[in-house]
Amino acid sequence: MSSIKEKDASPQDGDTPMLPVKGFRCSLKLQTIYQLKPLGIRALAKPAKLQQVALPLLNNTDCQRYFVTRMQTFMICAESTLRSESCPIGDSGGPLVCQRNGAWTLAGVVSWGSFTCSPSSPGIYARITALRSWADQTVVAN
C-alpha cells in the first residue's frame, strides 16, 4: 500500500468517508464506491462521476477456495455476480466503504483479484483497520 496526497480531492456529493476507529466492523453487506470501468484497464471511457455498487462479502475461509495465495487477516474478500462489479483491474487504490449510522466509513482499498475478472472470482481489498496504525504513522511523517 502506498500513500498519495491530493490537494483538490473532494467527494461528489459532499459525503466525506471517515477512517474507521479501532474495533470498527461493517455488516456483511458493504458497498464499494470507485470509478467503475466496464472492462477495467481495457476500457478507455471514464465515467463523468463516481459509480457505486453493492458487493456481498465472503469470509476469508470461503474466499480461499478461489485463490492459490493464502488469504490473510488484513484482506477483505468481496464477491459479485456480474463481471464488472468486483473487477479490480485498473481500480487499485479505490475505496471500499460501508455506511453505519448514516456515516460512510472507509473499510478497505482495492488490492487485487482475478486477471480475467471472472464473475466466479471475488476481488480482494486491503482491510483499513489492519493498516490504520501504518496509515497514521505515514501521515504524521509526511
- Structural domains for the chain: 29-141 (2.40.10.10)
* H-helix segments, the chain: 60-63, 128-141
Question: For the purposes of burial, counting CB atoms within 10 Å of the CB of 85, is it exposed (0-12), middle (13-18) or buried (19 or more)?
Answer: middle
Cα–Cα distance for residue pair 109/32, rounded to 1 Å: 9
Give pLDDT tens digits along the chain (142 positions): 444 444 434 444 555 656 666 666 665 444 444 433 334 444 555 666 666 777 778 888 888 888 887 888 888 888 765 555 555 556 777 788 877 777 777 888 888 877 666 667 788 888 888 888 888 899 899 8
| Residue located via cell numbers 455498487 | 53
What pTM, to 2 d.p., does this model score? 0.68
Give yes or no for a contact between 109 and 94, defined as CB atoms under 8 angstroms apart: yes
Farthest-apart Cα atoms in the chain, separation: 41
